[in-house]
Structure 1
Amino acid sequence: MNARETILARLRAALDPTAPDRAAPNPAAPAPVEVPRDYRRDGPVDLDLLVDRLTDYRAHVHQVAEPAIADTIAGILPVGAIVVVPPGLPLAWLPATVTALADEGLDTTAIAAADGVITAAAVAIADTGTVVLDGSPDQGRRVLSLLPDLHICVVRAAQVVANVPQALTRLAPHRPLTWISGPSATSDIELNRVEGVHGPRTLHVILLP
């Protein structure tokens, strides 16, 4: 029996408890340990904490009412900027000063060449300063928030939760989740910080009441 056959036999044995080559249970093995699930699942939502966390991560936070979204975006992007938007993004959010490319199968070259991307969000977590996208129509494919150098994300106060366990109750595990805590950043062994390597260099969060 070669290595391939040995591995396949072990897989079959693991999947079929009646398989003759399945190893017998070891009576000396320790019993499985029950993992405690008593971590904190609730808590007050603190929008100021979310803003502090996002700012600490070097994101730019704009607290405005919904009618001011377009003007806020116009102040962020230069006149004539080309932005990629998911197909379900509200058109009222887009200022007349930019050109929007709806993602209806755009190739990665066009997405990467855009001046930025505008999306909504699924959840924001105050404790960690994290914004989560789940691929819904107003958030789009994961690639949209990874290739452009600038990401503008609109978050409603009702989407903000206190902690990660609360966020998980609102998210579907089968969705393509993207967890964003500030702009993309990494550092080398000397702790030299570099932004924009694995995603956008600049993150703007528009926080609605």
Structure 2
Amino acid sequence: MSLISAIFAEAMRQVIIINADINKSETTQALIAAYRKGAESVDALVKEIVITDLKFNPNKQLPNRIAEPEPDLMEAIEKLKWASHIVVFCPVFKESINFKIKGFFDRIFLPDQVFVVNQPNFSNDFRGRSARIVSILDEAAWNDWQTTQRATYMSIKRSVLEKCHIKPVHTSAIGHLYTLENEYAQKWLKKLFSFGSKLI
């Protein structure tokens, strides 16, 4: 393999995991660990963004008051630019997403939020990257999903990631996990390991 081919192959194995669980729950951590182990089993480089640990203003800025991203957001942006594949683990409570999680996506991905006056080369065009959204439902949201099949993550998929030219965006909806020991949970842990090993 030539040096250029080796560099390209390595660049195709750079994964960012976004932990969008405000509570950093044991369940979410276990699901993330399964995906990470799968990715690392094929020598992918993996970095993580834990949204709840970031310090930033989650409120969407007015068009005439665009704020320069805080240091934590700039670091997250650099990680996203580095990655070839982005995986979002996002717990969903009924049909809502926590305001800080929404604020993270608003501030980083929306065109009028990421413009920085002193950085003319800054862009929210994430073309050439793929993604997966893992939606982890609480009991009420899971019951609603079984009845309506309404995907609560579609706003992130269509209005955020795909608008920034991230394609394809795969999605998974995981029902309420009462315990990590039951058959359903174990099935998803194995499935996420498989997704990680295939970098999808």
Structure whose alpha-carbon radius of gyration is higher: 1
Where relative contact order (Cα < 8 A, 6+ residues apart) is larger, the structure is 2
Q: Hey, which of these two has a bigger chunk of strand by percent?
A: 1
Q: Hey, which of these two has a bigger chunk of helix by percent?
A: 2
